[in-house]
Amino acid sequence: MSGSRDAILGAIRNNHIQGERPRPVVPLFDQAAPVDLKALFQKSLERMGGKMLLPDVADPMAPVRQAIVKPGPVVSCVPEFEGDMKITPQTKPTDIAPVEYAVLRAAFGVAETGSLCFTEKQLHVNTTGFLPQHLIVLLDPAQIVYNLHNAYQRPEWLQAHYAVFQSGPSATADIEGVLVHGAQGVRSLSVLFQL
């Protein structure tokens, strides 16, 4: 089987067109964009099962500390908040499995869908986006775009090796319509607007 695999991958490498190619032109569809992208983002996030944390001017990280209500490892991928588990260059993707809370900063948000974009720069280890039980996400309101068409224009798609959108906590429903959060990923996703 290894010889077949190597032959297939070799053929792909030999026939891969090298060099820069222009990206397709994508229309923006901004005609219906509201003035207040923060309000639309919050409404969309909550519709997807996510939660907005109320900011605290006196103590910006107080909402993050208050959102951590269960014991367990907390990993922080932001300098503003210190967790009790450190991610190092030696951290393996499976090392994130026991994490109860992960504190991240999103690259940007999408107002229309309530989605957050994470790249390897924000996650440090790609599994940080879906193995923890709960995500607490810092989002700069200036980094909210209206829709996915605008998101496609962002530099992350040219600069990152890995990027993922998340819209609220993981959810699934069976044929009877019973909704379960956290079935294939995080059980809760909270967002705090912070510059």
Written as one string, the DSSP assignment of 50-103 is -EEPPP-SS-TTHHHHHH--S-S-EEE-STTS--SB---TT--GGGGTT-SEEE
| Three-state secondary structure call for residue 185 | coil
Strand partners, 105: 138
How, if at all, do strands 115-119 and 163-166 pair?
A: antiparallel
pLDDT at 122: 96
**Is there a contact between 137 and 106 (Cβ–Cβ < 8 Å)?**
yes
pLDDT of residue 23: 77
Please give the helix or strand (H or E) that residue 166 lies within, else none. Answer: strand 163-166
For residue 33, the model assigns a pLDDT of 87
> Measured between alpha carbons, how far is 116 from 166 in angstroms, rounded to an integer?
5
pLDDT at 150: 94
pLDDT (0 to 100) of residue 7: 92
Q: What is the pLDDT of residues 122-174, one digit of tens each?
A: 999 999 999 999 999 999 999 999 999 999 999 998 899 999 999 888 888 77
Q: What pLDDT is attached to residue 20? A: 78
pLDDT for the residue numbered 189? 96
- What pLDDT, on the 0 to 100 scale, is given for residue 41? 97
Spans in the chain with pLDDT lower than 70: 1, 175
Residues with Cβ < 8 Å from 151, sequence gap 6 or more? 108, 110, 115, 117, 145, 165
The pLDDT assigned to 18 comes to: 76
CA nearest to 168, candidates 148, 184, 189: 189
Predicted confidence at residue 30, as pLDDT, reads 86
Radius of gyration of the chain (CA): 19
* Residue 31 DSSP symbol: T
Distance, CA of 124 to CA of 101 (rounded, Å): 15
Pull the structure tokens for residue 30: 């901004």
How confident is the model at residue 69, as a pLDDT? 94
pLDDT of residue 144: 98
Tell me the pTM.
0.85
Q: Which of 82, 75, 86 is CA-nearest to residue 61? A: 82
Residue 10 phi/psi, 5-degree rounding, is -65, -40
